[in-house]
Structure 1
Amino acid sequence: MSFTRFRPTSHFIAPHSWSNDPCGAVYVPETKEYLFCYQWNPGTTEGGNSAWGMAKSKDLVTWTDCSPPITNGAAGSYDQKGVFSGSIVSRVIDGKTALFLFYTSVSRLPIHWSKEYLEGCESQSVAFSTDYGVSWHRYENNPLLSVPPKRELSTGWRDPFVSPWTTLSRFLGVDEATDYMMIASGERGRGSALHLYSSNNLLGWDLCSTILEVETNTPVSPTSSFIWGMNFECASFFNIGESNYILVGIEEDIPSTRHNRHLTLWLRGEFVLENGKPKFNILSHGMLDFGILYAIHIFRDAEGRLLQLGWADESANAKTIKQQGWAGCIAHPRELYEISKPIADSISEEDIWYVDEKAGRMTALGIRPAPQISQVRDSRTQIPLENFKSIRSKNYEIKTTFKKPTGTEEFTFNVRQSPNKEELTKIIFDLANSTISVDRSKSSLENLGSSFTEIGRFTLLPDEDLDIRLFVDNSIIEVYANDRFALTSRIYPSLESLGVDYDFGGFEEENVGFWCWEGLKDAWPTRREGSVESSAEDVTVDEKGVVQVMERPIVVV
């Protein structure tokens, strides 16, 4: 199996080896560039002893590799076993811009909610850059925080997200420039928790409150189908106007049917005081992605839009992953915003909608591809519906509007389809049952990857058109609907399955707006030589056909 067989073209991906969480994204006005960091474990297709990789971009579409900002510390140090996820903030100090890279410093492994918590295994640390991310230096007084609030009862204490939270500062009557650090955690025998710290200089941190505590294996709300799991990960916060949001990754218990027992929720809430400390009272909630996406990270683009990144893990079998010599990529950046609609009585009880009876409006968190992603298209390759079935490709975008559906229709797109249809992946929009799914039961005849059907709930509002965007990029599929639904999936066709098809169930095609762009832009133009990545110089194939990745020390410049 070749290094490039299932490798995406237009998505963000590490040069080789294991990669997972996006963990530090920031726009630097002085250089007009985005810096984007991610968890990376060179030399293996397995996770664990990870540090940070980094790349830069002018447009969030094409990328250039940078030297890793920070790697494991020396033997015996507070971060000898890993530099885990975190965030980057930019501040002007004495007239000069400084970047602060906050991370979880790991001194002992393993760390998992199901295992005994090792004393001192996790702490929170920071590194600085004063040359816009070219070089980084650890703070001499690291770690900033050394002991989790629940100590040996902790199920985890990691992934610091740092930012002001203006609505909380106003609620507390403190300076709106106050910075907060949210750390995902949990307490054994009780449930998951989010600890919030505050600072006025980014170096000295005080525990503000445990702003959210939930009980293990209880429903998120009385009507919700989602259950709180065993531990929180990769949490962040923001406000849109006066609306307060938290994003949080949930580690579920063994009975979960989700990929790696992970899911990510968005929570809208209000602040209340409990014993003088702020708490987050949940008012509505929803899934950020109904598929494989996890480890959500947020940042602001050059225009101030709130963008979201996420890790698209592999769902291939272990042999497939080992043979290809790499694992994991990042889904396209997505914009988060707030949707406001007139109250629709038929669905006003759904958990994603916050209903304001007085204003006659209901609101939810919107999710759509970041506007920059339209730049991946090549206008010369736009294909109309009448020619769509002639496509032979594994890299394209589909944009479709079904005008004035009755709400009883089922629309299906087949992608990565073999000529005789023995291998294909179905993307199904079932309006009658309010679901969108990716049926992978025939995606891989040789069972190279999961055949589990990924499915999410989606309900059209009265008199609403169905607006769809689909991205197919070799092994990754992204599905969006009406700017409030997302589902990311991974597939591993065994055959040269490049065909497409569709079935609109008799829906009048004159009521279908359709656009397709084939051959999306290469995300790594400086990394490739022809069709082979230049970064693959560290990759060889042994006598058994297994891809081997050369493990090299990473030097921070």
Structure 2
Amino acid sequence: MAETFSSDLRADQRREVETFRRQREQLSGDPYRPAYHFSPPGGIVHDPNGACYWNGRYHLFYQFRPPDLPEDVPWVEAMHWGHAVSEDLVHWQDLPIALSPDTGAEKSCYSGQALVEDDRVVFMYHGPGSGNCIATADDPLLVDVEKSADNPVISEAGGDDPFTVFDPEIWRSSDGSYYSLSGTHSGEQFVDSEPAVYLFRSDDLTNWEYVGPFFEDGSHTDPGEDAAVPNFLEIDGRHVLLCFSHRRGAHYFVGDYDRSAHRFEPERHGRLTHGPTTHDGYIGDPNPGNLHAPSVLDGPEDRQIAFFNLNAGAMLDGWGEVVSLPRELGLSDDGTLTVAPVDELERLRCDHRSAGEQTIPSNDELLFDDDAGRALEISATIDPKDAGRVGLTVLRSPEREEVTEVTYYPHVDCLGIDATRSSTRSDATVRPAEEGPLRLEDDEPLELRVFVDRSIVEVFANGRRSLAARAYPGRSDSTGLSFFARGGEARLRSLDVWEMASIW
């Protein structure tokens, strides 16, 4: 990036990007550093923010604790907005830090989203100790971001209004008015809270009026949840509120939006993270949670592309956390949110191997390769037949001292990813297996796409279910790939495996 766009950057910006390049080079030998997922140039990447498509390029902003920040700076004062750009959604290149708490009224620059207008991009973000803030940029690379002199435009104080200000969403209606959501909770968080989202309106981005609660959720979620970092989308004529529960991870609501009453009426709720609840002290810790805060960009041809952060499961030297693969969103006929890896990822495929149709013996293992690798895409079609449990293993050592399993349970319509035996390291946090519902129709095979990237495993099944986990094999020989069946034999109908090239 420093070479490609050097003429579009100031001298100080070029120096900053060159520093990021050197930091990436220094970290490149880390065996857990992903090859084709976005990771920070040192320091910690947290929530993706402000993802947008501008001037023919994809931009990803993200909560960023820079690596040169002193360790004694608390999290509430540490957050910047990092910035990367891509021309293909796959290969990312660093740009200078976009937002810093060194300027402005806020203590830190927390999460928010972006609105692309004809002549500029508007960013709205939360500034702890201040409120929700506005910044704008109109240059080709969005590197000259200017904060509004009127920040915070929505104060944390709130006066007598019954709302809480937190990570905001922003959009513009057909009548020219701006709308913003503040996604939080009502009640005591992690105890008896429910997701709460508050709606605001403005004509000029500076003066905002409180409209009221955007929706009420009294039955879809568990006690203690919230609706942080909301993204409000329209897909195929339906409306989707995609957000994050600090207790249960990424989740969503599908329903109807009454534009005259400014109310969202959810009819369906779903989760993109499954399994145990997360704990409330996770920030900066090796949290065992998986798929977290979303940021969605409106791409060309009406594509909705979502990014999430995948929290770390181990304390790593010099960097932490990663961003998920970009996922294209859609809706199934029954209103379920679908997520699929973007087609552009196929550009990274190389060294293709395949296997023909064969039986997976009952209560046994079918070994494809003891040294398949640690940066892979796997496409497998399996007929479960009579098996009670069927699946594949990745990052497998020869004697299974370390192994990560992807499992389907046909009789209970459940897909799982189990990383409890993925590492023999004593400092790798163990998270219980993650399991989500997946019902196969009559004679429908299990269709898996599994992405393995050194310390990351992302699974997509039948276009309807996705799971993610972090894995930290301690053995150099944990590179195998195999298939298994329990309680009956299964049939491997097809298998394609590609090594995946690095994006750096």
What's the TM-score bracket when you normalise by the shorter of the two chains?
A: 0.7 to 0.9
Cα distance change of structure 1 residues 68 and 407 upon mapping to structure 2, 3 Å threshold: farther
> Are the aligned partners of 1:271 and 1:281 in contact in 2 as well (CA < 8 Å)?
yes
1:364 is the counterpart of 2:372: no
Q: Distance in 1 between matches of 2:133 and 2:94?
A: 24
Letter in 2 for 1:266: Y
The answer to whether the Cα contact below 8 Å between 2:201 and 2:209 also exists between their aligned partners in 1 is yes
Q: Tell me the amino acid that sits aligned with residue 100 of structure 1.
A: V
SS at 2:40 equivalent:
coil
Q: Which residue of 1 aligns with 2:282?
A: none
Q: Which range moves more in the overlay, 2-11 or 38-47?
A: 38-47
CA deviation digits over 1:110-162, x for unaligned, max 9? Answer: xxxxxxxxxxx2411111212130211111222211146576986x5221111
Match of 2:295 in 1: 297
Matching residue within 458, 461, 466 for 1:481: 461
Does the CA-based 8 Å contact 1:70-1:136 persist in structure 2? yes
Query: Partner of 2:475 in structure 1?
Result: 495
Do the aligned residues in 1 keep the contact of 2:385 with 2:489 (CA within 8 Å)? no
Q: Which amino acid aligns with 2:120?
A: A
The amino acid of 2:336's aligned partner reads: A
TM-score if structure 2 supplies the norm length?
Answer: 0.81
Shift of 1:5: 2.3
Contact 2:132 2:154 in 1 (8 A): yes
Q: Deviations over 1:396-433 (max 9, x none)?
A: 01111235x55855222111111221111111111222
Please point out which of 194, 197, 205 is paired with 2:197. 194
2:498 alignment counterpart:
517
Pairing 1:334–2:331 present: no
State the shift of 1:42 in Å: 1.3
Q: TM-score if structure 1 supplies the norm length?
A: 0.74
Deviates most, 468-477 or 300-309: 300-309
Q: Is the 8 A contact 1:407 1:460 kept in 2?
A: no
Q: CA deviation at 1:241?
A: 3.0
Cα offset, 1:307, TM superposition: 0.9
Tell me the secondary structure at the aligned position of residue 18 of structure 1: strand
* Letter of the 2:444 counterpart: E
| Residue 262 of structure 2, aligned match among 267, 272, 278 | 278
CA distance in 2, matches of 1:363, 1:407: 30
The separation in 2 between residues aligned to 1:7 and 1:129, in whole angstroms, is: 32
Partner of 2:402: 423
Matched with 2:63 is 39
Aligned to 1:251: 246
Residue equivalent to 1:309: 307
**Aligned counterparts, 1:403-422, within 5 A:** 403=383, 405-406=384-385, 409-422=388-401
Shift of 1:376: 2.1
Secondary structure of 1:372's counterpart equals helix
Alpha carbons 1:415, 1:500 under 8 Å: kept: yes
Matched, 1:69 2:98: yes
Deviation for aligned residue 1:68 = 0.8
Q: Cα–Cα, structure 1 residues 326 and 36, in superposed 2: closer, same or farther, change >3 Å?
A: same
Is there any run of 5+ residues in structure 2 with no aligned partner, and where?
Answer: 1-26, 275-288, 359-366
- Which of 150, 158, 178 is residue 166 of structure 2 equivalent to? 158
2:450–2:460 CA contact under 8 A, matched in 1: yes
Structure 1: which amino acid aligns with 2:318? G
Distance 1:47 1:143, change over 3 A: closer
The CA distance in 2 between the partners of 1:326 and 1:11, in whole Å, is: 14
CA distance in structure 2 between the aligned counterparts of 1:407 and 1:266, rounded to whole angstroms: 34
For the pair 1:432 / 2:411, whether they are aligned, the reply is yes
Summarize the Cα distance change of 1:303–1:446 in structure 2 as closer, same or farther, 3 Å threshold. Answer: same
Give the structure 1 partner of residue 284 of structure 2: none
Does the aligned pair in 2 maintain the 1:440–1:450 contact within 8 Å? no
Q: Does 1:102 align with 2:81?
A: no
Matched residue type, 1:382: R
* Cross-structure match for 2:144: 135
What is the CA–CA distance in structure 2 between the aligned matches of 1:406 and 1:384, rounded to whole Å?
19
- 1:453 matched to which residue of 2? 433
Q: Which amino acid aligns with 1:146?
A: S
Distance 1:104 1:51 in 2: 11
Separation in 1 of the partners of 2:169 and 2:386?
Answer: 41
Q: Does structure 1 residue 465 correspond to structure 2 residue 445?
A: yes
Cα pair distance change 1:51/1:441, threshold 3 Å: same
The corresponding residue for 2:49 is 23
Alignment-derived partner of residue 393 in structure 1: 373
Amino acid of the structure 1 residue aligned with 2:212: S
CA drift at 1:177: 4.8
195 and 153 in structure 1: CA distance in 2 versus 1, 3 angstrom threshold: closer
Partner of 1:232: 227
CA–CA distance in structure 2, aligned partners of residues 6 and 34 of structure 1: 26
Residue matched to 2:108 = 82
Task: Please state whether the residue corresponding to 1:298 is helix, strand or coil.
Answer: strand
1:38 CA drift (Å): 0.5
Displacement, 1:206?
2.4
8 Å contact from structure 1 (residues 128, 138) kept in 2 = yes
Q: CA RMSD in A?
A: 2.7
Q: What is the distance in 1 between the residues matched to 2:503 and 2:201?
A: 38
SS at match of 1:157: coil
Q: Corresponding residue for 1:268? A: 254
Partner residue of 2:349?
Answer: 377
- Residue identity in the other structure for 1:384: A
Equivalent-residue separation in structure 1 for 2:224 and 2:261 (angstroms): 24
- Tell me the distance in 1 between the aligned counterparts of 2:40 and 2:406: 28
* Greater RCO (Cα-Cα under 8 Å, separation 6 or more): 1
Structure 1 unmatched ranges of 5 or more = 107-120, 166-174, 221-225, 253-261, 341-361, 525-557
C-alpha separation in 1, matches of 2:75 and 2:90: 26
Alignment of 1:529-544 (within 5 A): none
2:84 to 33, 40, 55: 55
Change (3 A) 1:266 1:139: same
Q: Tell me the percent identity.
A: 24
Match of 2:9 in 1: none
